[in-house]
Chains A and B, each alone.
Chain A
Amino acid sequence: MDEYKEPVLELEHVKIQFGKRTILDDVNVSINEGEFIAILGPNGAGKSTLLKLLLGLIKPRAGIVRVLGRPPRRGNSDIGYAPQHRVLEADLALRARDVVGFGLDGHRWGIGIPNHKHRASIDAILREVDATAFANAPVGQLSGGEQQRLLIAQALLSNPRLLLLDEPLANLDIIHEQEIVTLVQHICRSRNVAVMLVSHDINPLLPVVDRVLYLANGQSTIGTIDEVITSATLSKLYGSQVEVVQALDRLFVVGAET
Protein backbone atom coordinates (compact mmCIF):
# COMPACT_ATOMS: atom_id res chain seq x y z
CA MET A 1 0.00 0.00 0.00
CA ASP A 2 1.33 3.37 -1.02
CA GLU A 3 0.43 5.33 2.07
CA TYR A 4 2.68 3.21 4.27
CA LYS A 5 5.72 3.86 2.11
CA GLU A 6 5.67 7.53 2.91
CA PRO A 7 7.11 8.73 6.22
CA VAL A 8 4.91 8.79 9.31
CA LEU A 9 6.07 12.31 9.99
CA GLU A 10 7.68 15.02 7.86
CA LEU A 11 8.78 18.48 8.96
CA GLU A 12 10.27 20.88 6.40
CA HIS A 13 11.79 24.21 7.45
CA VAL A 14 9.38 24.41 10.37
CA LYS A 15 9.50 27.52 12.56
CA ILE A 16 7.64 27.82 15.87
CA GLN A 17 7.22 31.24 17.42
CA PHE A 18 5.33 32.48 20.50
CA GLY A 19 4.84 36.20 20.00
CA LYS A 20 8.29 37.54 19.15
CA ARG A 21 10.13 34.65 20.78
CA THR A 22 11.35 31.98 18.38
CA ILE A 23 11.16 28.56 19.99
CA LEU A 24 12.44 26.51 17.08
CA ASP A 25 13.67 27.46 13.65
CA ASP A 26 14.23 25.48 10.46
CA VAL A 27 13.36 22.03 11.80
CA ASN A 28 13.76 19.34 9.16
CA VAL A 29 12.76 15.84 10.21
CA SER A 30 11.47 12.75 8.48
CA ILE A 31 10.45 9.75 10.56
CA ASN A 32 9.52 6.32 9.24
CA GLU A 33 7.09 3.81 10.66
CA GLY A 34 8.41 1.69 13.49
CA GLU A 35 11.27 4.07 14.30
CA PHE A 36 12.15 4.77 17.93
CA ILE A 37 13.17 8.43 18.25
CA ALA A 38 14.38 10.10 21.45
CA ILE A 39 13.80 13.84 21.70
CA LEU A 40 16.47 15.45 23.86
CA GLY A 41 17.48 18.94 24.84
CA PRO A 42 17.64 21.38 27.74
CA ASN A 43 14.57 22.69 29.55
CA GLY A 44 12.62 25.15 27.45
CA ALA A 45 14.19 23.96 24.19
CA GLY A 46 10.74 23.27 22.75
CA LYS A 47 10.44 19.49 23.18
CA SER A 48 6.86 19.52 24.45
CA THR A 49 6.00 22.37 22.08
CA LEU A 50 7.09 20.23 19.14
CA LEU A 51 4.69 17.48 20.25
CA LYS A 52 1.85 20.01 20.53
CA LEU A 53 2.60 21.07 16.96
CA LEU A 54 2.19 17.48 15.74
CA LEU A 55 -1.10 17.21 17.65
CA GLY A 56 -2.47 20.27 15.89
CA LEU A 57 -2.73 22.22 19.17
CA ILE A 58 -0.42 24.97 17.89
CA LYS A 59 0.38 26.16 14.37
CA PRO A 60 3.85 26.62 12.87
CA ARG A 61 4.87 30.17 11.94
CA ALA A 62 6.50 28.80 8.78
CA GLY A 63 7.26 25.50 7.07
CA ILE A 64 5.37 22.32 6.29
CA VAL A 65 4.20 19.66 8.76
CA ARG A 66 2.79 16.35 7.51
CA VAL A 67 1.54 13.53 9.73
CA LEU A 68 0.93 10.46 7.53
CA GLY A 69 0.94 12.79 4.55
CA ARG A 70 -1.67 15.18 5.96
CA PRO A 71 -1.51 18.43 7.93
CA PRO A 72 -1.78 18.01 11.73
CA ARG A 73 -5.30 18.15 13.15
CA ARG A 74 -6.87 17.76 16.58
CA GLY A 75 -8.52 14.45 17.29
CA ASN A 76 -6.22 12.53 14.95
CA SER A 77 -6.58 8.90 16.06
CA ASP A 78 -3.36 8.03 14.19
CA ILE A 79 -1.46 9.72 17.02
CA GLY A 80 -1.30 8.40 20.57
CA TYR A 81 -0.25 11.02 23.13
CA ALA A 82 0.78 10.85 26.77
CA PRO A 83 1.65 14.32 28.16
CA GLN A 84 3.95 14.95 31.12
CA HIS A 85 3.16 16.20 34.64
CA ARG A 86 -0.04 14.26 34.96
CA VAL A 87 -1.62 14.77 38.36
CA LEU A 88 -3.29 11.50 39.13
CA GLU A 89 -2.32 11.40 42.80
CA ALA A 90 -5.50 12.95 44.06
CA ASP A 91 -7.79 10.95 41.82
CA LEU A 92 -9.24 8.30 44.03
CA ALA A 93 -12.50 8.57 42.14
CA LEU A 94 -11.26 6.66 39.11
CA ARG A 95 -10.06 3.13 38.51
CA ALA A 96 -7.03 2.29 36.40
CA ARG A 97 -9.36 0.69 33.85
CA ASP A 98 -11.42 3.90 33.55
CA VAL A 99 -8.32 5.98 32.75
CA VAL A 100 -7.39 3.58 29.98
CA GLY A 101 -10.99 3.52 28.71
CA PHE A 102 -10.87 7.27 27.99
CA GLY A 103 -8.47 6.43 25.16
CA LEU A 104 -11.12 4.26 23.51
CA ASP A 105 -14.26 6.39 23.56
CA GLY A 106 -13.74 9.32 25.97
CA HIS A 107 -14.22 11.81 23.14
CA ARG A 108 -17.57 10.43 21.99
CA TRP A 109 -20.89 11.98 22.98
CA GLY A 110 -23.39 10.19 25.18
CA ILE A 111 -23.03 8.02 28.23
CA GLY A 112 -21.53 4.94 26.54
CA ILE A 113 -23.24 1.71 27.43
CA PRO A 114 -20.58 -0.76 28.63
CA ASN A 115 -20.40 -3.76 26.33
CA HIS A 116 -18.32 -6.88 25.80
CA LYS A 117 -16.29 -5.50 22.90
CA HIS A 118 -15.42 -2.35 24.87
CA ARG A 119 -14.29 -4.42 27.84
CA ALA A 120 -12.32 -6.85 25.69
CA SER A 121 -10.30 -4.05 24.00
CA ILE A 122 -9.40 -2.56 27.37
CA ASP A 123 -8.46 -5.98 28.79
CA ALA A 124 -6.25 -6.68 25.77
CA ILE A 125 -4.38 -3.38 26.07
CA LEU A 126 -3.98 -3.82 29.85
CA ARG A 127 -2.36 -7.23 29.18
CA GLU A 128 -0.07 -5.67 26.57
CA VAL A 129 1.33 -3.18 29.09
CA ASP A 130 1.27 -5.74 31.92
CA ALA A 131 -1.24 -3.75 33.98
CA THR A 132 -3.90 -6.42 34.51
CA ALA A 133 -2.99 -6.89 38.17
CA PHE A 134 -3.98 -3.35 39.17
CA ALA A 135 -6.71 -2.79 36.58
CA ASN A 136 -9.42 -2.16 39.18
CA ALA A 137 -7.37 -0.17 41.71
CA PRO A 138 -8.00 3.58 42.13
CA VAL A 139 -5.33 5.41 40.10
CA GLY A 140 -4.39 7.64 43.04
CA GLN A 141 -3.05 4.56 44.81
CA LEU A 142 -0.70 3.47 42.03
CA SER A 143 3.05 4.09 41.79
CA GLY A 144 4.56 6.38 39.15
CA GLY A 145 5.63 3.43 37.00
CA GLU A 146 2.20 1.82 37.16
CA GLN A 147 0.48 5.10 36.25
CA GLN A 148 2.85 5.49 33.31
CA ARG A 149 1.85 2.05 32.00
CA LEU A 150 -1.80 3.11 32.09
CA LEU A 151 -1.09 6.34 30.22
CA ILE A 152 0.78 4.42 27.52
CA ALA A 153 -2.10 1.92 27.31
CA GLN A 154 -4.57 4.79 26.98
CA ALA A 155 -2.52 6.30 24.15
CA LEU A 156 -2.41 2.94 22.34
CA LEU A 157 -6.15 2.25 22.29
CA SER A 158 -6.78 4.03 18.99
CA ASN A 159 -4.07 1.87 17.31
CA PRO A 160 -1.91 4.90 16.45
CA ARG A 161 0.87 4.95 13.82
CA LEU A 162 2.76 7.54 15.86
CA LEU A 163 3.17 7.47 19.64
CA LEU A 164 4.19 10.70 21.39
CA LEU A 165 5.42 10.24 24.96
CA ASP A 166 6.37 13.37 26.88
CA GLU A 167 8.86 12.62 29.68
CA PRO A 168 7.50 9.18 30.58
CA LEU A 169 10.68 8.51 32.58
CA ALA A 170 10.44 11.64 34.75
CA ASN A 171 10.18 10.98 38.50
CA LEU A 172 10.69 7.24 38.10
CA ASP A 173 13.22 5.26 40.07
CA ILE A 174 15.75 3.33 38.09
CA ILE A 175 13.96 -0.03 38.06
CA HIS A 176 10.71 1.46 36.82
CA GLU A 177 12.58 3.63 34.33
CA GLN A 178 14.06 0.50 32.78
CA GLU A 179 10.68 -1.28 32.82
CA ILE A 180 9.05 1.55 30.91
CA VAL A 181 11.90 1.71 28.36
CA THR A 182 11.60 -2.04 27.78
CA LEU A 183 7.83 -1.77 27.44
CA VAL A 184 8.00 1.11 24.94
CA GLN A 185 10.62 -0.71 22.91
CA HIS A 186 8.45 -3.83 22.81
CA ILE A 187 5.42 -1.80 21.70
CA CYS A 188 7.45 0.01 19.06
CA ARG A 189 8.76 -3.25 17.53
CA SER A 190 5.66 -5.44 17.87
CA ARG A 191 3.20 -2.82 16.59
CA ASN A 192 5.64 -1.23 14.16
CA VAL A 193 4.52 2.14 15.51
CA ALA A 194 6.84 5.15 15.33
CA VAL A 195 7.69 6.38 18.84
CA MET A 196 8.86 9.87 19.76
CA LEU A 197 9.91 9.86 23.40
CA VAL A 198 10.90 13.08 25.16
CA SER A 199 13.57 12.58 27.80
CA HIS A 200 16.11 14.67 29.67
CA ASP A 201 18.60 11.79 29.79
CA ILE A 202 19.74 9.64 26.87
CA ASN A 203 21.36 6.92 28.99
CA PRO A 204 18.33 4.75 29.79
CA LEU A 205 17.46 4.86 26.08
CA LEU A 206 20.96 4.11 24.68
CA PRO A 207 20.31 0.45 23.82
CA VAL A 208 16.88 0.99 22.22
CA VAL A 209 16.63 4.19 20.17
CA ASP A 210 17.17 4.30 16.40
CA ARG A 211 17.79 8.03 16.15
CA VAL A 212 17.96 11.12 18.34
CA LEU A 213 16.33 14.48 17.72
CA TYR A 214 18.31 17.01 19.73
CA LEU A 215 16.82 20.47 20.32
CA ALA A 216 18.82 23.36 21.78
CA ASN A 217 19.21 27.09 21.33
CA GLY A 218 16.27 27.23 18.86
CA GLN A 219 18.08 24.80 16.57
CA SER A 220 17.69 21.09 15.98
CA THR A 221 19.59 18.15 14.62
CA ILE A 222 18.58 14.54 14.00
CA GLY A 223 20.67 11.41 13.52
CA THR A 224 21.99 8.29 15.21
CA ILE A 225 23.48 8.56 18.68
CA ASP A 226 26.99 8.34 17.22
CA GLU A 227 26.25 11.21 14.85
CA VAL A 228 24.43 13.54 17.27
CA ILE A 229 25.80 12.98 20.76
CA THR A 230 29.32 14.15 19.90
CA SER A 231 31.31 17.13 21.10
CA ALA A 232 31.43 18.59 17.57
CA THR A 233 27.71 18.29 16.74
CA LEU A 234 26.44 19.51 20.10
CA SER A 235 28.94 22.40 20.27
CA LYS A 236 27.63 23.57 16.91
CA LEU A 237 24.02 23.17 18.07
CA TYR A 238 24.47 25.00 21.36
CA GLY A 239 26.75 27.61 19.80
CA SER A 240 29.22 27.16 22.65
CA GLN A 241 31.87 24.66 23.70
CA VAL A 242 30.22 21.41 24.80
CA GLU A 243 32.04 18.20 25.66
CA VAL A 244 30.52 14.72 25.42
CA VAL A 245 32.17 12.44 27.95
CA GLN A 246 31.86 8.67 27.86
CA ALA A 247 32.28 6.79 31.11
CA LEU A 248 31.12 3.34 32.18
CA ASP A 249 29.13 2.95 28.94
CA ARG A 250 27.20 6.12 29.74
CA LEU A 251 27.22 9.43 27.92
CA PHE A 252 27.41 12.76 29.67
CA VAL A 253 27.07 16.18 28.11
CA VAL A 254 29.33 18.56 29.97
CA GLY A 255 29.24 22.33 29.70
CA ALA A 256 25.57 22.55 28.80
CA GLU A 257 22.46 22.43 30.89
CA THR A 258 20.77 19.18 29.84
Chain B
Amino acid sequence: MFDILQYQFIQNAFMAGTCVAIVAAVMGYFLIVRGLTFAGHALPNIGFAGAAGAVLLGVDPVIGLLAFTISAAIAIGILGKNLRDRDVVVGIIMTFALGLGILFLSLYSGYAERVYSILFGQIVGISQQNVLFTATTSLLTLVVLLIIYRPLLFSSFDPEVAEARGVPINVLGVAFLVLVAITVSIAVQIVGALLFFTLLIGPAATSVRIVQRPLWAIVLAVFLGIGYIWLGIFFAANGNWPVSFYIATISFAVYLPVRLLSPLWIGHRARKNISTGKETDQTSVPGREIEQVDVVQTHGRVSGITR
Protein backbone atom coordinates (compact mmCIF):
# COMPACT_ATOMS: atom_id res chain seq x y z
CA MET B 1 0.00 0.00 0.00
CA PHE B 2 2.84 2.39 0.85
CA ASP B 3 4.97 0.94 -1.93
CA ILE B 4 3.84 3.72 -4.22
CA LEU B 5 6.00 6.15 -2.27
CA GLN B 6 9.06 4.57 -3.87
CA TYR B 7 8.13 5.94 -7.28
CA GLN B 8 9.82 9.19 -8.26
CA PHE B 9 6.69 10.69 -9.87
CA ILE B 10 4.67 10.07 -6.70
CA GLN B 11 7.37 11.70 -4.60
CA ASN B 12 7.35 14.68 -6.98
CA ALA B 13 3.57 14.93 -6.73
CA PHE B 14 3.77 14.94 -2.93
CA MET B 15 6.47 17.63 -2.87
CA ALA B 16 4.92 19.99 -5.45
CA GLY B 17 1.44 19.40 -4.05
CA THR B 18 2.62 20.26 -0.54
CA CYS B 19 4.16 23.56 -1.71
CA VAL B 20 0.98 24.53 -3.57
CA ALA B 21 -1.21 23.51 -0.61
CA ILE B 22 0.75 25.72 1.81
CA VAL B 23 0.64 28.87 -0.35
CA ALA B 24 -2.98 28.27 -1.36
CA ALA B 25 -4.10 27.93 2.27
CA VAL B 26 -2.46 31.22 3.32
CA MET B 27 -3.86 33.08 0.30
CA GLY B 28 -7.25 31.45 0.76
CA TYR B 29 -7.50 32.87 4.26
CA PHE B 30 -7.02 36.41 2.96
CA LEU B 31 -9.38 35.84 0.02
CA ILE B 32 -12.11 34.74 2.43
CA VAL B 33 -11.70 37.59 4.92
CA ARG B 34 -11.52 40.11 2.04
CA GLY B 35 -14.73 38.74 0.48
CA LEU B 36 -12.84 37.66 -2.65
CA THR B 37 -13.71 33.97 -2.74
CA PHE B 38 -15.33 34.32 -6.14
CA ALA B 39 -12.19 36.02 -7.50
CA GLY B 40 -10.22 32.99 -6.26
CA HIS B 41 -12.50 30.81 -8.37
CA ALA B 42 -12.40 33.13 -11.37
CA LEU B 43 -8.63 33.62 -11.66
CA PRO B 44 -7.78 29.98 -12.50
CA ASN B 45 -10.55 29.99 -15.13
CA ILE B 46 -9.32 33.28 -16.56
CA GLY B 47 -5.85 31.70 -16.66
CA PHE B 48 -7.27 28.82 -18.68
CA ALA B 49 -8.38 31.31 -21.35
CA GLY B 50 -4.93 32.91 -21.33
CA ALA B 51 -3.27 29.53 -21.78
CA ALA B 52 -5.56 28.80 -24.74
CA GLY B 53 -4.52 32.10 -26.33
CA ALA B 54 -0.85 31.26 -25.79
CA VAL B 55 -1.25 27.83 -27.39
CA LEU B 56 -2.96 29.45 -30.37
CA LEU B 57 -0.07 31.91 -30.75
CA GLY B 58 2.42 29.09 -30.33
CA VAL B 59 4.04 30.47 -27.15
CA ASP B 60 4.52 28.91 -23.71
CA PRO B 61 1.11 28.64 -21.94
CA VAL B 62 2.57 30.20 -18.78
CA ILE B 63 2.93 33.52 -20.65
CA GLY B 64 -0.76 33.50 -21.51
CA LEU B 65 -1.62 32.46 -17.95
CA LEU B 66 0.38 35.30 -16.41
CA ALA B 67 -0.87 37.92 -18.90
CA PHE B 68 -4.53 37.05 -18.38
CA THR B 69 -4.53 36.48 -14.62
CA ILE B 70 -2.45 39.57 -13.78
CA SER B 71 -4.58 41.83 -16.02
CA ALA B 72 -7.74 40.40 -14.45
CA ALA B 73 -6.29 40.81 -10.94
CA ILE B 74 -5.53 44.48 -11.53
CA ALA B 75 -8.98 45.05 -13.03
CA ILE B 76 -10.73 43.32 -10.12
CA GLY B 77 -8.57 45.18 -7.60
CA ILE B 78 -9.37 48.58 -9.09
CA LEU B 79 -13.02 48.11 -10.14
CA GLY B 80 -14.08 45.86 -7.27
CA LYS B 81 -13.30 48.13 -4.32
CA ASN B 82 -16.93 48.19 -3.31
CA LEU B 83 -17.96 44.92 -1.67
CA ARG B 84 -21.44 45.11 -3.14
CA ASP B 85 -20.47 45.06 -6.81
CA ARG B 86 -17.22 43.11 -6.42
CA ASP B 87 -18.80 39.80 -7.48
CA VAL B 88 -20.42 41.51 -10.47
CA VAL B 89 -17.04 42.82 -11.62
CA VAL B 90 -15.44 39.39 -11.15
CA GLY B 91 -18.31 37.69 -13.01
CA ILE B 92 -18.16 40.05 -15.98
CA ILE B 93 -14.38 39.75 -16.31
CA MET B 94 -14.45 35.95 -15.96
CA THR B 95 -17.19 35.42 -18.54
CA PHE B 96 -15.37 37.71 -20.97
CA ALA B 97 -12.16 35.72 -20.47
CA LEU B 98 -13.96 32.40 -20.87
CA GLY B 99 -15.56 33.70 -24.08
CA LEU B 100 -12.11 34.53 -25.41
CA GLY B 101 -10.87 31.10 -24.27
CA ILE B 102 -13.59 29.32 -26.25
CA LEU B 103 -12.77 31.44 -29.31
CA PHE B 104 -9.05 30.59 -29.00
CA LEU B 105 -9.81 26.88 -28.71
CA SER B 106 -12.12 26.95 -31.74
CA LEU B 107 -9.49 28.79 -33.80
CA TYR B 108 -6.84 26.26 -32.80
CA SER B 109 -6.93 23.34 -35.21
CA GLY B 110 -4.88 20.82 -33.22
CA TYR B 111 -5.80 18.96 -30.05
CA ALA B 112 -5.14 21.38 -27.22
CA GLU B 113 -3.94 18.83 -24.70
CA ARG B 114 -1.82 21.29 -22.78
CA VAL B 115 -4.81 23.57 -22.38
CA TYR B 116 -7.08 20.84 -21.04
CA SER B 117 -4.41 19.73 -18.62
CA ILE B 118 -4.63 23.21 -17.11
CA LEU B 119 -8.27 22.64 -16.23
CA PHE B 120 -7.76 19.26 -14.63
CA GLY B 121 -4.07 19.24 -13.78
CA GLN B 122 -1.41 16.64 -14.19
CA ILE B 123 -0.09 16.25 -10.70
CA VAL B 124 1.24 12.74 -11.27
CA GLY B 125 3.19 13.93 -14.30
CA ILE B 126 5.48 16.43 -12.62
CA SER B 127 9.22 16.53 -13.29
CA GLN B 128 11.84 17.22 -10.64
CA GLN B 129 12.52 20.53 -12.36
CA ASN B 130 8.85 21.43 -11.89
CA VAL B 131 9.12 20.59 -8.21
CA LEU B 132 12.11 22.86 -7.75
CA PHE B 133 10.38 25.69 -9.65
CA THR B 134 7.17 25.31 -7.62
CA ALA B 135 9.08 25.23 -4.33
CA THR B 136 11.04 28.38 -5.20
CA THR B 137 8.03 30.43 -6.29
CA SER B 138 6.00 29.21 -3.30
CA LEU B 139 8.76 30.29 -0.92
CA LEU B 140 9.02 33.72 -2.56
CA THR B 141 5.24 34.19 -2.42
CA LEU B 142 5.19 33.22 1.26
CA VAL B 143 7.95 35.71 2.05
CA VAL B 144 6.00 38.53 0.34
CA LEU B 145 2.81 37.50 2.19
CA LEU B 146 4.65 37.56 5.53
CA ILE B 147 6.02 41.03 4.80
CA ILE B 148 2.57 42.48 4.01
CA TYR B 149 0.81 40.32 6.63
CA ARG B 150 -0.20 42.93 9.23
CA PRO B 151 -1.26 45.81 6.95
CA LEU B 152 -3.07 43.36 4.65
CA LEU B 153 -4.96 41.89 7.61
CA PHE B 154 -5.74 45.38 8.99
CA SER B 155 -7.01 46.63 5.62
CA SER B 156 -9.01 43.43 5.05
CA PHE B 157 -11.02 43.78 8.26
CA ASP B 158 -11.00 47.53 8.76
CA PRO B 159 -10.13 49.44 5.56
CA GLU B 160 -11.30 52.87 6.74
CA VAL B 161 -9.18 52.99 9.88
CA ALA B 162 -6.26 51.32 8.09
CA GLU B 163 -6.33 54.08 5.47
CA ALA B 164 -6.45 56.76 8.15
CA ARG B 165 -3.47 55.13 9.86
CA GLY B 166 -1.48 55.45 6.64
CA VAL B 167 -1.86 51.94 5.19
CA PRO B 168 -1.87 52.16 1.35
CA ILE B 169 -5.04 50.04 1.12
CA ASN B 170 -5.63 50.34 -2.63
CA VAL B 171 -2.06 49.46 -3.61
CA LEU B 172 -2.06 46.61 -1.10
CA GLY B 173 -5.37 45.25 -2.43
CA VAL B 174 -4.14 45.18 -6.03
CA ALA B 175 -0.71 43.81 -5.01
CA PHE B 176 -2.34 40.93 -3.13
CA LEU B 177 -4.50 39.98 -6.13
CA VAL B 178 -1.47 40.13 -8.45
CA LEU B 179 0.32 37.78 -6.04
CA VAL B 180 -2.68 35.42 -6.22
CA ALA B 181 -2.58 35.70 -10.04
CA ILE B 182 1.11 34.73 -10.20
CA THR B 183 0.55 31.80 -7.85
CA VAL B 184 -2.47 30.68 -9.89
CA SER B 185 -0.43 30.80 -13.11
CA ILE B 186 2.25 28.55 -11.66
CA ALA B 187 0.04 26.26 -9.63
CA VAL B 188 -2.64 25.45 -12.23
CA GLN B 189 -0.03 23.88 -14.49
CA ILE B 190 0.89 21.55 -11.66
CA VAL B 191 -2.43 20.74 -10.00
CA GLY B 192 -5.04 22.17 -12.38
CA ALA B 193 -7.61 24.92 -11.97
CA LEU B 194 -10.18 22.81 -10.13
CA LEU B 195 -7.74 21.42 -7.62
CA PHE B 196 -6.09 24.77 -7.01
CA PHE B 197 -9.42 26.37 -6.20
CA THR B 198 -10.21 23.52 -3.82
CA LEU B 199 -6.90 24.00 -2.00
CA LEU B 200 -7.41 27.78 -1.97
CA ILE B 201 -10.84 27.90 -0.35
CA GLY B 202 -11.52 24.55 1.34
CA PRO B 203 -8.88 24.58 4.10
CA ALA B 204 -9.25 28.29 5.01
CA ALA B 205 -13.07 28.18 4.94
CA THR B 206 -12.95 25.29 7.40
CA SER B 207 -10.28 26.72 9.69
CA VAL B 208 -11.97 30.11 10.22
CA ARG B 209 -14.93 28.16 11.60
CA ILE B 210 -12.72 26.37 14.12
CA VAL B 211 -10.34 29.06 15.41
CA GLN B 212 -10.80 32.83 15.60
CA ARG B 213 -7.23 34.08 15.97
CA PRO B 214 -6.01 35.01 12.45
CA LEU B 215 -2.53 33.48 12.73
CA TRP B 216 -3.87 30.21 14.15
CA ALA B 217 -6.56 30.08 11.48
CA ILE B 218 -3.85 30.36 8.81
CA VAL B 219 -1.67 27.70 10.45
CA LEU B 220 -4.63 25.33 10.76
CA ALA B 221 -5.58 26.00 7.12
CA VAL B 222 -2.04 25.08 6.06
CA PHE B 223 -2.19 21.77 7.96
CA LEU B 224 -5.63 20.99 6.53
CA GLY B 225 -4.40 21.77 3.00
CA ILE B 226 -1.35 19.53 3.37
CA GLY B 227 -3.54 16.78 4.81
CA TYR B 228 -6.02 17.00 1.92
CA ILE B 229 -3.40 16.79 -0.80
CA TRP B 230 -1.46 13.96 0.86
CA LEU B 231 -4.61 11.88 1.36
CA GLY B 232 -5.81 12.74 -2.16
CA ILE B 233 -2.57 11.67 -3.85
CA PHE B 234 -2.37 8.57 -1.67
CA PHE B 235 -5.91 7.49 -2.56
CA ALA B 236 -5.44 8.33 -6.24
CA ALA B 237 -2.17 6.37 -6.42
CA ASN B 238 -3.83 3.33 -4.86
CA GLY B 239 -7.13 3.65 -6.71
CA ASN B 240 -8.41 4.38 -10.17
CA TRP B 241 -10.19 7.68 -9.70
CA PRO B 242 -8.68 11.14 -10.41
CA VAL B 243 -6.78 12.95 -7.66
CA SER B 244 -8.93 16.09 -8.03
CA PHE B 245 -12.00 14.07 -7.16
CA TYR B 246 -10.47 12.71 -3.97
CA ILE B 247 -9.17 16.08 -2.75
CA ALA B 248 -12.37 17.98 -3.55
CA THR B 249 -14.39 15.27 -1.80
CA ILE B 250 -12.19 15.24 1.30
CA SER B 251 -12.38 19.05 1.44
CA PHE B 252 -16.16 18.98 1.24
CA ALA B 253 -16.47 16.11 3.73
CA VAL B 254 -14.46 18.04 6.32
CA TYR B 255 -16.10 21.42 5.65
CA LEU B 256 -19.71 20.23 5.83
CA PRO B 257 -19.80 18.96 9.44
CA VAL B 258 -17.64 21.88 10.63
CA ARG B 259 -19.98 24.37 8.95
CA LEU B 260 -23.08 22.72 10.36
CA LEU B 261 -21.76 22.21 13.88
CA SER B 262 -19.65 25.37 14.30
CA PRO B 263 -22.57 27.46 15.68
CA LEU B 264 -22.42 25.14 18.69
CA TRP B 265 -18.90 26.03 19.77
CA ILE B 266 -18.65 29.56 18.37
CA GLY B 267 -21.99 30.52 19.93
CA HIS B 268 -21.29 28.74 23.20
CA ARG B 269 -17.94 30.39 23.78
CA ALA B 270 -19.25 33.85 22.96
CA ARG B 271 -22.46 33.55 24.96
CA LYS B 272 -20.49 32.67 28.03
CA ASN B 273 -18.25 35.66 27.51
CA ILE B 274 -21.02 38.10 26.72
CA SER B 275 -23.15 37.15 29.70
CA THR B 276 -20.26 37.66 32.13
CA GLY B 277 -19.49 40.92 30.35
CA LYS B 278 -22.97 42.27 30.92
CA GLU B 279 -22.93 41.30 34.57
CA THR B 280 -19.76 43.27 35.24
CA ASP B 281 -21.14 46.20 33.26
CA GLN B 282 -24.22 46.38 35.42
CA THR B 283 -22.41 46.10 38.71
CA SER B 284 -19.88 48.75 37.71
CA VAL B 285 -22.50 51.48 37.24
CA PRO B 286 -25.33 50.72 39.64
CA GLY B 287 -28.42 52.90 39.71
CA ARG B 288 -27.41 55.24 36.93
CA GLU B 289 -28.71 53.02 34.14
CA ILE B 290 -32.17 52.62 35.61
CA GLU B 291 -32.48 56.36 36.01
CA GLN B 292 -31.48 56.84 32.37
CA VAL B 293 -33.99 54.35 31.03
CA ASP B 294 -36.83 56.47 32.38
CA VAL B 295 -35.60 59.70 30.84
CA VAL B 296 -35.06 58.16 27.46
CA GLN B 297 -38.45 56.58 27.25
CA THR B 298 -40.10 59.94 27.77
CA HIS B 299 -37.73 61.43 25.22
CA GLY B 300 -38.89 58.92 22.65
CA ARG B 301 -42.54 59.83 23.20
CA VAL B 302 -41.99 63.58 23.10
CA SER B 303 -39.96 63.54 19.92
CA GLY B 304 -42.64 61.37 18.36
CA ILE B 305 -45.26 64.03 19.01
CA THR B 306 -43.22 67.05 17.92
CA ARG B 307 -42.47 65.45 14.58
Contacts and interface: CB of A to CB of B under 8 A. Distances in A.
Q: Do A and B come from one complex?
A: yes
Contacts, number: 160
B129 interface: no
B60 interface: no
B285 A92 contact: no
B302 A93 contact: no
A252 B209 CA distance: 47
A247 B32 CA distance: 51
Contacts of A177: 296
A93 B32 contact: yes
Interface string B208-252: 110011110100000000000000000000000000000000000
Given A98-B214, A203-B299, A134 B277 contact: yes
A254 interface: yes
Interface in A17-63: 55, 57
A227 interface: no
A142 interface: yes
Interface in A150-186: 154-155, 174-175, 177-179, 182
A89 interface: no
A7 interface: no
Interface residues of B, number: 53
Contacts of B280: 130, 132-133
Given A107-B154, A107-B165, A130-B284, A138 B270 contact: yes
Interface in B89-145: none
Interface stretch (B12-20, B66-74, B155-163): B155-163
Nearest to B275: A133
Given A130-B280, A134-B273, A154-B161, A95 B212 contact: yes
Nearest to A138: B212
B161 A82 contact: yes
Contacts of A134: 270, 273-274, 276-277
B168 to A, nearest CB: 9
A86 B161 CA distance: 10
Given A130-B280, A141-B267, A107 B151 contact: yes
A110 B165 contact: no
Nearest to A107: B165
Given A107-B151, A178-B292, A179-B285, A92 B266 contact: yes
Contact of A137 (B150, B270, B295): B270
B293 interface: yes
B88 interface: no
Nearest to B151: A107
A245 interface: yes
Contacts of A102: 153-154, 157-158, 161-162
Nearest to A145: B281
B271 to A, nearest CB: 8
B289 interface: yes
A141 B154 contact: no
A146 B280 CA distance: 13
Contacts of B281: 130, 133, 179
Given A94-B157, A102-B161, A178 B289 contact: yes
Interface in B255-270: 266-267, 269-270
Contacts of B292: 174-175, 178
B303 interface: yes
Interface string A55-78: 101000000000000000011110
Contacts of A179: 281, 285, 289
A208 to B, nearest CB: 13
Contacts of B295: 248-250
Contacts of B276: 133-134
22 contacts: A81-B161, A82-B161, A86-B160, A93-B33, A93-B212, A94-B157, A95-B213, A98-B214, A106-B150, A106-B154, A106-B167, A107-B166, A111-B150, A134-B273, A137-B274, A141-B266, A141-B271, A146-B274, A178-B296, A179-B285, A203-B299, A252-B303
